[in-house]
Structure 1
Amino acid sequence: MNVEKPRSSPSATSSGQSDHGQTSSSTHVEARPTSTSAGVPWFTERFWSRDPSTAAARKTYNMIMIVFTALIILCVLSVLPIYWGALWQTSTHIHNVKGWVVDFDNGEVGTTISNGIVSTSGPPTTMSWELVPSTRFPNGMADVEHEILEENVWAIVAISAGATTILQAAITSANTSYAPNSTIAVVAAEARSENAFRNVVRPVVTMILDQVTASYNTHFVQQLAQSGQNLTALASTAPTLVTQPVSYTINNIRPFDVPVASAVDFVGLIYLLILAFNVTMVNYSARIEATNLELRLRFRSLLAMRILIPIFLYFFISLFYALLSLAFQVPFNRTFGHAGFVIYWMMSWFAMAALGLAVEAVITILTTKFVTFFLLLWVVANAAVCFLPPELLPGVYRYAYASPFYNVQQAVRTIVFNTKNQLGLNFGVQLAWIGVSLITITVLQYFKRYQAIREHERMQDIEKRA
């Protein structure tokens, strides 16, 4: 803060003046440290001081704080609900999570279990099930797993081939090695969305299969009793055949077994945006406040500086951001070998450019005073679609497929967990955002330059007239 050096008091003592009005060299006039030459008080006023200049400053301060508080409240009411809404009443969208039932048995067990599962479809609070012919899976369980990995469906319940025949043979021979949980196999991939798997898919599938198998087991034991089967002897030899003749196993073919990956595919994305935002703020301060380069450079040079320098900086920042995850042993080599780390680094670079250049464009108009409000919107809109998959969100959140965060998340799942490979699409979305930002930076900077030139010409006219 530039503070003028205070002047001495205008009323000098008579002993400090000579007869000719000259100041005596032996007289020391004490300067007041509490006011400037304009009479503005420094370091002495209370907040509610009645001094006119302090009162004016206080009025301006209060107005600024009131306006910005109102804007913050407006953001609370308009921006934050985007995230709250993504987590509100997710149970009413569970019907969008699709499941298939495949009957390889084509016997009593397969028919009863399949019909029981499919009959649970309908309510919005449970998964929707479709009975798919086993002829669609000529290679058996290998084809079932392929459908899951291609993300055509969230879960597949497969009734084993010959399940009815194997069960009847076990009853006849009182087979003690009979494994009831081999009758039904549930195939799913947790790494597709660990939150959806843990909070929706596994609980719903478990609840449905517990009910369906319990109903079948009760009916089956009653049939055995009515057929004259000695249940007491059977229970003493092979108790499982009486207590639980049919059961299931859940085969999680892509477990989310790297907990630190949560920092890479969700929370860390917020940090990636914050890092890009810091580059934007430094770039703004350096070219405008510190050097005034914005007014010195021709338009094309200024535009190149605003675009190329941040992208160049993002390249190195994203490298160290990726190295941080590597240092904490995120296994980037699972799917693509050593190239996995480079792919992740490039995705982080592209994402940082997509996120940061958007802020770089907006700050042209909003300046540092208001750009943080856009940052809040940018963070919330991206983060809202990353905790749960779009299928569990209201329809308005389908923009997830075009958001930078979501596509980074999908790329990370492919690299680390070998889920469905859509890297071309994931990179394409980032490039699309970069392209939009390049256009908006150009247009907004041209408008800003036009205003600056007009203002410069106006000031020159005033100087000439003076």
Structure 2
Amino acid sequence: MNTSTTVSSIVMDPSNNITSSTPAIPPSTPLAVPWFTESFWSRDPTTAAARKMYGTILLVFTALVIICILSALPVYWGALWQTTSHVHNLKGWVVDFDGSTIGKSVSQGVMSTSGSPSMMTWEVVPATLFPDGLVDVESWILEEKIWVIIAISENATAGLQAAVLAANASYVSNATITAVVAEARSENAYKNIIRPIITGILDGVTASLNAHVVQTTAESGQNLTILAKSAPTLLTQPVSYTISNLRPFDVPVAAAVDFVGLIYLLILAFIITMVNYAARVEMTHLQDRLSFVSLLAMRILVPLTLYFPISLFYALLSQAFQVPFDRKFGHSGFLIYWMMSWFAMGALGLALESAVTLLTTKFVGFFLLLWVVANVSVCFFPPELLPGVFRYAPAMPFYNVQQAVRTIVFDTKNQLGLNFGVQLAWMGVSICTITVFQYFKRYRAIREHERPRDTEKRGGMRELIAAPLFADS
């Protein structure tokens, strides 16, 4: 017989005033679910139920990850797939300042390559468009109105003929043709597509021209032996070319600033989003105590305030590795880059703040993946080399940070006003969505908070109605 002491709880029955006692669980009774002792495949009902829920959660999230792989990641793969099919979207000009044999031959040779999807599209433009010669040609390139301009020097044919007749050893053949480009506009497009196309075309054109010049020289009765001794270049390579790279991508570490580093900038903003959410929702429940206006102000101003010093140290990291921010704007270049990093964190981070409102910490990672892919996909190659669906590039935060960095570090076309404006526009959109999403979340939270009170009031009213009008005291 069990001699354990029992604790009775007294319950009053209002109908007959009878009391009853219910024995409590003895303190020595073991727990129903033993802690820290079960194996993974335990048959204990509670552990089995927990194991089943655990497996279900993993399966569901694995399925969601696979869906992301099949839906989001192809965006980036698609941006790098068959870029050669869109090379024809890169435009180039041929300017014939010569107007004679060499100019016409080069123009015809370049134009003969145009038309294929895998080749640049060329157009012969009149030399009168460039009254100051190469100075005007360079300004068109620096203003990014065209990708490449191949210019044939003035009097190129007459100068070559005079040099052959005089056996001029000082003749510079590579001044005949100049291809003007700006690598820093898109170093990947230049390295992988533009430069190989230019060299391929001009190598073929000059080889044909050189053979023609040598044949013409021999037929003219010129003493080739004397010419070979005094000016051999006039026989071996009478026509050549120079690639004038106005803005070389000569700072390798800048790749961390204008491409890969942007992913890290987004990750930093994501960390702040997660910490901010945990601090106000899970650890302090502060958001349940604040008015809607105060909560909204906190959700917008606190992240922007935190982004300020973080973006400073992010910019200082690049400064420490000697990224030359002073090339175009002097010492102000670093300040401009810092402000661009801050604005970019605001554009990227507030979008995450908006997403986490609805998705919570459980699902916001999927939005982060999509946000990264959508931004990165338009940064490796210029929009002209991407399929039409990627023409959204100029509206993305990453793309505009990249353009700003190119302006500050490499002195490319200045569009800083537009670059900052896009970041501000994203912040404005995110502030609007945060407001809307938070309003609905707050409305739902208030309803859930008031429901127990409503239930209690309704229960009390039912008891009042059911009670006798003149109950005995």
State the TM-score, normalizing by the size of structure 2. 0.91
Pair 1:355-2:348 in alignment? yes
Which residue in the other structure is 2:51 paired with?
Answer: 58
Identity %: 70
Q: CA offsets per residue over residues 327-369 of structure 1, 9 Å max, x none?
A: 1111111101111111111111110000000000010000000
Which residue in the other structure is 1:309 paired with?
Answer: 302
Which residue in the other structure is 1:295 paired with?
Answer: 288
Which residue in the other structure is 1:134 paired with?
Answer: 127
Which residue in the other structure is 1:151 paired with?
Answer: 144
Which residue in the other structure is 1:257 paired with?
Answer: 250
Matched to 1:297, the amino acid is: L
Provide runs of 4+ in structure 1 moved above 3 Å: 29-32
- Structure 2 distance, partners of 1:31, 1:238, is 110
Which residue in the other structure is 2:431 paired with?
Answer: 438
Q: RMSD of the alignment, in Å?
A: 1.7
- Structure 1 distance, partners of 2:83, 2:187, is 15
Pair 1:180-2:173 in alignment? yes
Secondary structure (helix, strand or coil) at the match of 1:336 reads coil
Which residue in the other structure is 1:378 paired with?
Answer: 371
Q: CA deviation at 1:30?
A: 11
Q: CA offsets per residue over residues 423-457 of structure 1, 9 Å max, x none?
A: 00000100110110010000000010111111112
Pair 1:160-2:136 in alignment? no
Which residue in the other structure is 2:271 paired with?
Answer: 278
- Structure 1 distance, partners of 2:193, 2:456, is 71
Which residue in the other structure is 2:20 paired with?
Answer: none
Aligned length: 441
- Structure 2 distance, partners of 1:309, 1:260, is 32
- From 383, 405, 408, the counterpart of 1:412: 405
Q: CA offsets per residue over residues 57-106 of structure 1, 9 Å max, x none?
A: 01100100000000000000000011101110111111111111111111
- Structure 1 distance, partners of 2:371, 2:195, is 32
Which residue in the other structure is 1:457 paired with?
Answer: 450
Q: CA deviation at 1:48?
A: 1.6
Which residue in the other structure is 1:224 paired with?
Answer: 217
- Structure 2 distance, partners of 1:436, 1:443, is 11
State the TM-score, normalizing by the size of structure 1. 0.92
Q: Can you give the 5+ residue segments of structure 2 that lack an aligned partner in the other structure?
A: 8-25, 461-473
Pair 1:76-2:66 in alignment? no
Q: CA deviation at 1:463?
A: 3.5
Q: Can you give the 5+ residue segments of structure 1 that lack an aligned partner in the other structure?
A: 1-10, 23-28
The answer to which of 63-72 and 123-132 deviates more is: 123-132
Q: CA deviation at 1:274?
A: 0.6
- Structure 2 distance, partners of 1:173, 1:180, is 15
Secondary structure (helix, strand or coil) at the match of 1:187 reads strand
Which residue in the other structure is 1:204 paired with?
Answer: 197
- Structure 2 distance, partners of 1:357, 1:455, is 27
Matched to 1:420, the amino acid is: K
- Structure 2 distance, partners of 1:172, 1:463, is 111
Which residue in the other structure is 1:321 paired with?
Answer: 314
- Structure 1 distance, partners of 2:203, 2:225, is 25
Secondary structure (helix, strand or coil) at the match of 1:260 reads helix
- Structure 1 distance, partners of 2:241, 2:34, is 82
Matched to 1:426, the amino acid is: N
Secondary structure (helix, strand or coil) at the match of 2:149 reads strand
- From 41, 45, 48, the counterpart of 2:38: 45
Q: CA deviation at 1:232?
A: 3.1
- Structure 1 distance, partners of 2:437, 2:6, is 62
Pair 1:67-2:60 in alignment? yes
Which residue in the other structure is 1:6 paired with?
Answer: none
Which residue in the other structure is 1:345 paired with?
Answer: 338
Matched to 1:58, the amino acid is: R
- Structure 2 distance, partners of 1:343, 1:322, is 10
Which residue in the other structure is 2:183 paired with?
Answer: 190
Secondary structure (helix, strand or coil) at the match of 1:334 reads coil
- Structure 2 distance, partners of 1:234, 1:309, is 78
